[in-house]
Structures are given as C-alpha cells and as structure tokens.
Structure 1
Amino acid sequence: MASLRGLSRPARSVHVPQLARQTYTAGTIRCASSQTAEAAAPVLSELENSTLTAPQLGDEEKREFRPWKRAADRKYQLPSGRYQYHPPKYNRGPLHPIQSPPSSDPVARDFVPGPFNLPRLKQTYHSTIAPDLMTLTYTHVPPGTPEKETPQRLRGWDGSSPYHKNRALRGPRGGAVLRLLERDITFNNVPEIREITIASNVPDAVHDPDHLLVARSVLLALTGTTPEITKTKSNVVQWGIKKGDKAGVKTTVYGNAAYEFLDRCVHLVFPRIKDWKGIPATTGDSAGNLAFGLTPDEVKLFPEIEANYWLYPAKMMPGCRVFIKTSATSDRQARLLLEAFGVPFYGPIRN
C-alpha cells in the first residue's frame, strides 16, 4: 500500500495486474520527438514527391488553365458579405445592434497604421515640457473665489432708432476680427503642435516652369510629402503675374512628421545660420499660430538638401515660409511652447 500511495491518482485507479503488464524495460522506452519524426516521415515524402517531382504543365495546358473564366462561368457566385466582415458606413447610435469597431482594429474604416516611430522632440514634450508648462502657468485660486465675468467685447446700440431693438450687437471698430479669449493652461489643454505648413512662393515660375519643379523637389525632400501647386489670387504688374498663374507650392505635415521637422530646424538649421537673432516676437495671428521665413541660403542647411545639393540648381533654390499651428489660444502661450522646444525669439513682445 505504501508503494501505491506514491503513485499519481490516475495510476492508482488502474488495476494492479494492468500495471504489471505495462512495465517496460529501459531499452524499449522511446522519446516523443523520435516517434513524431517517424510518423511524419511518410507525409513529408509525399509532399516532396507531389511538389518537386510533379510533371510540369505543357503550353496547351497552360493556355487552357484559366481560373478567372472558371469563376465567371460558375452558376452560383459566392456571397462576399457572408465570408468577409464589412463595418457599417454610418453609426446609428450606441443602442443599435451593429456597432463600428474601434479605430485600432484593422477592419475599421478609420484605421490608421502606426505610429512606427517616436520622435525625440515629442517624447521630450510628454516627459518634460508639458509638466513644466503646467507648473509655470499655475495660478492658485482659493476655494470660494468668485469667477471673473467676461467683459462684453461687442458694441451695442444706443437706442436712438426703433430699429435698434432686438438687433444683433456690432463688432469692434475698424472691422477687426475678435481675438480668441486666452484660456488658462490646465491638465487637459496643455498647448501642443497640431500641424506645420511649409509654403514657397516662386514668381519666376510664371516665365520658367523649372523653378516650380525645383521648389516641389525641395519641399518633397524636406517633408516627405508631395506638395500641391498654388495659384496667385491677384495680378502683380511689376512681376508680370496674372490672377490664376501657378507661382507657388505648399505642403502640410501632421503628428510625428511635424515634430521631426521642427527638431531638424531647432538642432540642425538654426544653430548654423550666421548672425541670426531668432524669430521676431511680434509674429502670430493672436490665435496661437506663429510663422517665420527661411531664405534660400538657409534652406540649403537642411541635411536632406545638403546631402544632395548637386541635384538642385543653385540659382533656382527657393526660400520658404513656415507656419506652425498650435492648440494654444494666444500667441503668448504659443511662444512659451516653442521656447521650451528651443526656438529663440527677439524684439518687443506683442500679446
């Protein structure tokens, strides 16, 4: 009984004479790998004989072998919807029995593969810059402090005419557009870069289309995207340009590509510009979008252009204008973000 207690539970359930009958000697024990290899040997031999030693098709048999015609002549076609899942084109609410898969599913219609890389500048933003911006711009408000009322920025009517009653308020004087109200930076609205647009104006392309080709090649090398051709919106007599002439190119980069382009500007191009003060602090559209320009000599400093400089004619090298669109609500916040990235500013500051 002591020897039976040492066995496993399934072994103890077997009758003792059966255990005695199923004893094997050391020489008859076989490994599972050797048994599997011997069992698969005839299968592998059949595959070798069927694939490597099969007779080749003749020319006449190749001409008669037309699977597309056999599929077309089939009387009953296979329904595609039964064997392949198609997500719905429209979302009919959260209670509908058919729901669209998440955007991370490759079957989804809005699926975008990636990201395939993590730019160094973007990683620095998430790990250092974003927390620092929240700390620098934090304003403590004691509990119970009444909220500041937003002043009325539109002009009312004096009521001197009966037509002033129930009439919409007027905008600021001079036809100026109302600026965005600056929001305080919190954990859910830290400014970040949304997109960067690079545009190049080539007025000489009206008389020589080769200038337009060189400008497109330069922007393609800088961004990796195919630029679109822009047309003039008005006549310029001094340059001999008419409305509708093709005289420029532009392209826009988003996400990781935008951070990589700004990284090259900050660490490879700006430090090599001689006697460069920086970007004027007066730039901006009062909505958190900044811009700066690069001359043809400064465009040559990009590594993509410098490595293949012989491909571009020196006299046709264009300059470009860079527009940085951020999620900030004022130029002050946008400058604070770009300064954290390493972009220098100079001159008087305009809020």
Structure 2
Amino acid sequence: MVQRLKSIYLNNVIPKLNEEAKYKNVHQIPRLKKIVINCGIGEASQNAKTLEYTIRDLSIIAGQRPLVKRAKKAIASFQLRKKMPVGVSVTLRGDAMYAFLDRLINLALPRIRDFQGLNRKSFDGHGNFHLGLKEQLMFPEIDYDKIDKLRGMDICIVTTCTNDNECFQFLSALGMPFQTVSSKKL
C-alpha cells in the first residue's frame, strides 16, 4: 500500500514542481531522502529509567527503535563519562518516512498551542529543513499518563534540493505549514 503523502508527491507535487522549474531531467526533481529525529537525554546519568522512557516514546512516535548515542569522551564539568548515553536518534527512510511526515504535518503540528506556522529561516542553506519540538505530547500516539517528563526533539528533513528556495517550494507543495509573511510587524 502506498502512503498517502507519497501518492500526493507522485501525483500532484512532481508535476507542479516540474511545471514551475522546468527540470531537464527527472532526477533533478526534489524528493525526500530521509528524516532524522534526535532527542537529547542529558539527565540519563542521574536517572537510568530516563533512557528507557525516551526510547519507548521515540519508538512509538517514529515506528522503529531508536539508536542510542553515547559520549565520545569524558567531560568532568557535565558529569559525563565516556560511552555514557547522551541521546537517541532515529533515521527514517522510505514508507516510514512518508508516514511520519504525514502524521507530523496533519496531526502533530496542528495540535501545538498558538501555532502560527513553521519558521522560514530554519533551512540550512543546502536544501534541508530543521525544526525543534518542545514536547512529545503533540503526537496522538503518546499517552499523557505514561510519560515521565516532557522531552523535546529535533527533526531534520533531508531533501535532494540544492538551495533553500527550492526546498521551501517543495515542502510547501507537500503541505508543510510555513509562517505567512505579513505586511504588518507586531
């Protein structure tokens, strides 16, 4: 079964982008490469259950088990020893990537209180988009009673776009809600 967002990409976004930019080759049309979700757990050194809860929450959100990231060297001022867990990360590709992005755009982002849209300045200059979320509760899969603490996460959407404007057009065509540029300054 083809993911809903992937079918939108294949049937609507590709013809629209090709019409606007007049690509000479089919492989020049922007596409998603991967989505990386990172969650830092600095307090894991004091509480061993923190790592377990974070892995559980991120695996529910992403649909696959996250990889535990460990410290490369010891830093005494942070009470950090070598090989101590400092974060968890998930890399999504293929259908899982499209399923997650669809849930992010249509379910999670609208649940943010006072959501005005995503910041247009969050592109990295190479055609990738980064956003940070303050809590995991915006995903409907997470049960409020089962979480121990609110944790944020960083989401990196990696595309084949060559610049920020092209990536903005591509993600807007996919339905990503960006902030509108208003003529009034508040």
TM-score bracket, shorter-length normalisation: 0.7 to 0.9
1:233 Cα shift?
Answer: 4.6
TM-score by length of 1: 0.48
1:309 Cα shift?
Answer: 3.0
Is 1:119 aligned to 2:3, yes or no?
A: yes
1:270 Cα shift?
Answer: 1.2
> Sequence identity of aligned pairs in percent?
29
Alignment of 1:179-198 (within 5 A): 186-198=25-37
- In structure 2, the residue matched to 1:241 is 80
The structure whose residues are more often strand, as a share, is 2
1:276 Cα shift?
Answer: 2.0
Rounded Cα–Cα distance in structure 1 between residues aligned with 2:2 and 2:40: 32
1:333 Cα shift?
Answer: 1.4
What do you get for the CA RMSD once the two structures are aligned?
2.1
Is 1:304 aligned to 2:141, yes or no?
A: yes
Alignment of 1:306-345 (within 5 A): 308-313=143-148, 316-345=149-178
Is 1:134 aligned to 2:25, yes or no?
A: no
Rounded Cα–Cα distance in structure 1 between residues aligned with 2:43 and 2:24: 45
Partner deviation per Cα, 1:11-31 (whole Å, 9 max, x = no partner) = xxxxxxxxxxxxxxxxxxxxx
Rounded Cα–Cα distance in structure 1 between residues aligned with 2:86 and 2:24: 41
Rounded Cα–Cα distance in structure 2 between residues aligned with 1:233 and 1:294: 26
Judging changes above 3 Å, is the alpha-carbon distance between structure 1 residues 327 and 236 closer, same or farther for their aligned structure 2 residues?
farther
Matched-pair contact (CA < 8 Å) for 2:68–2:87: yes
Rounded Cα–Cα distance in structure 1 between residues aligned with 2:3 and 2:76: 42
Alignment of 1:261-272 (within 5 A): 261-272=100-111
Matched-pair contact (CA < 8 Å) for 1:203–1:247: yes
Partner deviation per Cα, 1:47-71 (whole Å, 9 max, x = no partner) = xxxxxxxxxxxxxxxxxxxxxxxxx
- In structure 1, the residue matched to 2:63 is 224
Unmatched 5+ stretches in structure 2 = 182-186
TM-score by length of 2: 0.87
- In structure 2, the residue matched to 1:253 is 92
Matched-pair contact (CA < 8 Å) for 1:288–1:334: yes
Is 1:281 aligned to 2:113, yes or no?
A: no
Unmatched 5+ stretches in structure 1 = 1-116, 139-183
4+ runs of 1 displaced by more than 4 Å? none
Q: Secondary structure at the match of 2:26?
A: coil
Rounded Cα–Cα distance in structure 2 between residues aligned with 1:261 and 1:241: 33
- In structure 2, the residue matched to 1:199 is 38
Higher RCO (Cα < 8 Å, 6 or more apart) = 2
Matched-pair contact (CA < 8 Å) for 1:214–1:317: no
Aligned length: 180
Letter aligned with residue 166 of structure 2: Q
Q: Secondary structure at the match of 2:60?
A: helix
Rounded Cα–Cα distance in structure 1 between residues aligned with 2:46 and 2:24: 50
Rounded Cα–Cα distance in structure 2 between residues aligned with 1:264 and 1:289: 19
Judging changes above 3 Å, is the alpha-carbon distance between structure 1 residues 274 and 195 closer, same or farther for their aligned structure 2 residues?
same
Rounded Cα–Cα distance in structure 2 between residues aligned with 1:274 and 1:317: 15
1:312 Cα shift?
Answer: 2.1
